[in-house]
Every structure is written in structure tokens, then in C-alpha cells.
Structure 1
Amino acid sequence: MFRWLAGRGASRRRVAQELSLISPQAWRHAMAGLPFLAGLSRQEQEALRDRVAWLLASKVFNGARGLEVTDDIKMAIAIQAALPIMQLDPALYEGWIEIIVYPGGFLIPRSEVHEDGVVAEYMLEASGEAWDGGPVILSWEDSQPGNPQTVNVVIHEFAHKLDLYGGIADGMPSLHAHSDIRPSVWMRVLDATFDSFGDALDAIEREIPRHIDPESEAAAPWYDRLPLDPYAATDPAEFFAVSTEGFFVNPLPLAQALPEWYGLLAQYYRQDPLRRLGFAPHGMR
């Protein structure tokens, strides 16, 4: 009980109990709805199941707005959340205890300080949010299997948790277990790649005809040429989270456009989704 209250991971015995409750049928059903996991080897699937059991044993799931969080919902979310730490220490997800699931999008309060010093407060509709030291909040509509395989709100928000575990949300997760990655190298590649992506976004936006609203669906053909969602240009923390989405669910555009960044992510996560999903090495060139 005290481990749970402190946001620490469950005991090995509790994790083993949870692992024994994952039936082969439930596992196959959940995996089938997530095509980007199709290339996992048997060993990787076993590692992923272990991390899923750890999550189910260590976190409490609560529904909002009357949503009943079923075992199927828990399993689908836990599999996606566990993928980034499949080869990492699950302690990276410690320090908090709750996953809140809404039926759909939800509103979060935001404030913005204008140049004249006036503070504007407003409500922003979101599909996910990760609080520093607090819960991960998800929209089930946007998290459930069957959504477009170019984005993944669960992976995005849990990437923020990895970032926050390393300190402030700045795009650099904890590297204490990665003696092969120097923090200075991470920041150099992150800064250079973030700037490069921002330049590419600026170039795309200059190409959009003036009669087309850049915030509308009509602008999608231009933005679709980018390797990541434009939201990645918000700041380095969002760049890391959006990049992590792309790395796991749609790695080819990222690897082709930003190969050094892709390679660093592969080194950090100790995974190579590009090869796992059957892309030949030359696909990165």
C-alpha cells in the first residue's frame, strides 16, 4: 500500500499476479488493433507483456464523465503506454499513480500573457495531458485502437512523463541508465533538429496560398509533407513527444527526414521500429 501511495511501482509478486491474469485471447485481441506492433518478435512481446503487467499493477485507472474503464480499455492503454519502456526500467514511470480516461476530448484551463501584459484565460480542448507529479489524462475516443496510425495520444503523453522524470519538460529524458548517450550530444542533436524542423515548417507555411486558411483541412496537403505533425514545433518538450509518436507508429518519414534524431531515439529507447516494421535500411536514405 505504501509503495502505491508513494507512486512507486508494484512489488514483483503483484506484477506476477497481474501477468498471470492476461489471457492469450485478450492479449491477441488488443495487439491486433495496433498494427504498428505487428513486427514485434516473441522476445519483444514477452518484454512488452511484463511492462503491461507492471503498469496494470502500479497505476489506478479512473473513468471520467461516467465512462466505465473496462479491462479491454485498460489493456489497450497499457500496451501503448508500455511500448516506450519495453526495453527500459519501468521506474521511469514512477512518481505518480493515476490514469484518468474521458470518453472523448476534454477541456483544460489555459492562460496566455499578451505583449501588453494582459492575461487572457481560456479553455482548450485536448485529447491528452500529462501532469508533472500527477496523472496522465486521456480521451478514450482518441486513444482506442483503430485511430489513424500517424498519431498516438497515449505514447505522446507517456513520452512527456519520460521527459518530466528527467527534470523539467525540456525534451531531454533521464539518461542516467544510458552511458552510451552524453547529455551534451542529446541537446546538440535535439536543438539542431528542432530548429531544422521549424525552418521546414516555415517554408511549408510560406507555400500555402493566401486564399487557404492554414488552420483548415484544406492546408493538410502542405503539412502532410512534413515528417511530423506541425505541433512538434511548439517547443522542445512537444518536439520530443511528437517525435516519439512518429518513432513508434510511423517511423519512415522521421528516419528519412531527420536520420540523426531518429538514430538517437533508437539508441534511447533501445528499439528500431523502422526495421521491426519491415523497412529496408536504404529506406532511410
Structure 2
Amino acid sequence: MFKWLRGLRAAPAIPDAAWQATLTRYPFLAERPAADVQRLRALAADFLRDKEFHGAHGFAITDEVALAVAAQAVLPVLHLPGGLDWYGDFVGIVVHSSEVVARRKTMDETGVVHEYDEVVAGEAMDRGPVMLSWQDVLASSLTAAEGYNVVIHEFAHKIDMRDGAADGCPTLPPGFGGHASARDAHAAWRAVIQPAFDVFREQTIVAERFGGEPPWLDPYGADSISEFFAVACEAYFVNRTRFGEEFPPLLALFDAFFTPPTR
């Protein structure tokens, strides 16, 4: 599994055949500008050099698996200052063959603890590893029209959690949006994403409870603003056109963050 990359200070280029196979399987990568695809390839090689893949319950980590994850994981940080530094809080990536049943525990407003099982396709742990279902990673090759991508979802969580809080607002660069202070920049970000989340959540509730038309994005995004951010990032990167039609203010906001102007 790309063992020839491990431990090298400078990552060699990914073999042409492996790279072309990845672009063919995930067309939303190949459809980007040529300069982006070239940078994506180099960044994916760095990712493979720095991260460690583990197969759960006997699942085999092949070159195909590792490269598929790497190529999609680096897409959100392709133009971010610092690049892979955004993923610097972890090394391990655990891949299961399919979805996983995770045990959850929550406390309600009255202090009562509730335990339940949740089926998950992926999970990003704060300052810990990322877990992915290979079945769902593969599905990302076919679900761009729905804006679905489990790899981007989980790595968007990593970007969101970089400052320690999964609140739907990543760490913003100095001067973001023309704001002098980080507090003002954060407030401006919230002023765009919060109304979008509120409308989406209302649409999801109406669809689920009263049979209304379901929103385009994965309804899982209605769980919290951090989940909404991750779900929105999926759609932004794999189906920009439809995302822009559904969320024009978010498109402008994400463009300003994920593709900052060259200084």
C-alpha cells in the first residue's frame, strides 16, 4: 500500500496508471482545471506519505483504497494556506468494508442519559483518527449528483475542529472578508451559514413530519450546524453548480474560504 512513500521527506509522484484510474472512478476530480488536478496529485502523494491506513476486521488496504481516500481528502485543502497542516492533528485512517454500528450516549435537557445505536459511514474524531466505510467511499463515484461524499464530509469535520470547536465555522485567516478581527470574521461567517442552516433544518422537519418536499442535501445535515457545514462541503466540492443554485450565499462564502484570492 504505497509503502515506497512511507518515511520519505519528499513524496515521489503517484504512478500514472493508478492516478488515471482514480480520476476515471471519481469524475468530479478529473473535471477540475488542469492545474488543480496536477496539484491534487502532488498533495495526495504527500498525504499518503504522512498518514497511516488500517483495515478493520481484516479489510485489506490496497493501493486503490489508499489513493481513493487521499485524492478526495486533500480536495478541501487544495488551495487553503497551510495545505495538509489542516490535518495535522492525526495520523491514522481506519477503513471498514461497510457501514459501522456505533454506540452513542447523550444527555437531554433534564439530565437523563440516553444510549442508542447509530449506523455510520464515517467518523472524524477530535485529535484522533478518521474512520471510513469503503462501501461509501466507492459510492462517492456515483453520487455527485446528490452532493454526497463521505470522505469530504469527514475531512470537513477535521477542518471545522481545527480550532477545537465543531461549530460550523473553521479557523478563518486574518482579514477574512475584510474584517480586522477574528471575532468579526467569525460573526460574519455565522451571519451567512446560520440562516442557511435554519432554513434547511425547517425544510427537513417539514419533509419528515408532514410529507413536504425534501431538501436536496443529505437530511443528516439538519442534526447540527457542524453537520450542516460538513454536508454542505460535500456538495460544494462534488456538485458546485447545483450547490450554487441551492445556496448562493454559501457558495460565495465557501469560495472566499476554500479558494482565497492569490495575494
State the TM-score, normalized to the length of structure 2.
Answer: 0.86
Are 1:208 and 2:197 matched, yes or no? Answer: no
Shift of 1:265: 0.8
**One of 143, 147, 157 as aligned partner of 1:148:** 143
Q: Is 1:128 aligned with 2:131?
A: no
Please say if 1:59 is aligned against 2:51: yes
CA drift of 1:148 comes to 2.1
Any idea what SS the aligned residue of 1:172 has? coil
- Shift of residue 118, structure 1, vs aligned partner: 3.2
Q: How many residues of Structure 1 are paired with residues of Structure 2 in the alignment?
A: 245
Distance (Å, rounded) in 2 between the aligned partners of 1:257 and 1:140: 29
Match of 1:249 in 2: 238
Deviates more, 1:58-67 or 1:182-191: 182-191
- Structure 2 spans left out of the alignment, 5+ residues: 179-184
Identity of aligned residues (%): 36
Pairwise CA distance, 1:167: 2.3
Query: Residue type of the partner of 2:187?
Result: S
After superposition, the C-alpha distances for 1:48-90 in whole angstroms (9 at most, x for unaligned) are 1121012101110000010110111100010010111111222
1:82 corresponds, among 74, 77, 84, to 74
Partner secondary structure for residue 158 of structure 2: helix
Q: Distance in 1 between matches of 2:52 and 2:197?
A: 35
Please show how residues 158-237 of structure 1 align to structure 2 within 5 Å. 158-176=155-173, 179-180=176-177, 182-205=185-208, 207-208=210-211, 222-223=213-214, 226-237=215-226
Structure 1 stretches lacking a partner, 5+ long: 1-9, 210-221, 272-285
Q: Give the 5 Å matches for 1:22-61.
A: 22-61=14-53
Q: Work out whether 1:109 is the aligned partner of 2:98.
A: no
2:257 corresponds, among 268, 271, 275, to 268
Corresponding position: 1:97 with 2:91? yes
Structure 1's 59 and 177: CA in aligned 2 closer, same or farther, altered over 3 A? farther
Q: What's the CA shift string for 1:9-31, capped at 9, x where partnerless? A: x99x9353x333x1111100011
Matched, 1:19 2:12: yes
With over 3 angstroms needed to count, the CA separation of the structure-2 counterparts of 1:178 and 1:268, relative to structure 1, is: farther
Cα deviation, 1:149-169, whole Å, max 9, x if unaligned, reads 221100000000000003210
TM-score scaled to structure 1, two decimals?
A: 0.79
Name the CA distance, whole Å, in 2 between partners of 1:86 and 1:177. 19
Q: Is the 8 A contact 1:104 1:127 kept in 2?
A: yes
Matched residue type, 2:252: G
Describe the SS at the equivalent of 1:245: helix
Deviation at 1:179, TM superposition (A): 3.4
Shift of 1:125: 1.5
Q: Secondary structure at the match of 2:98?
A: coil
**CA–CA separation in structure 1 for the residues paired with 2:106 and 2:121:** 20
Pairing 1:258–2:252 present: no
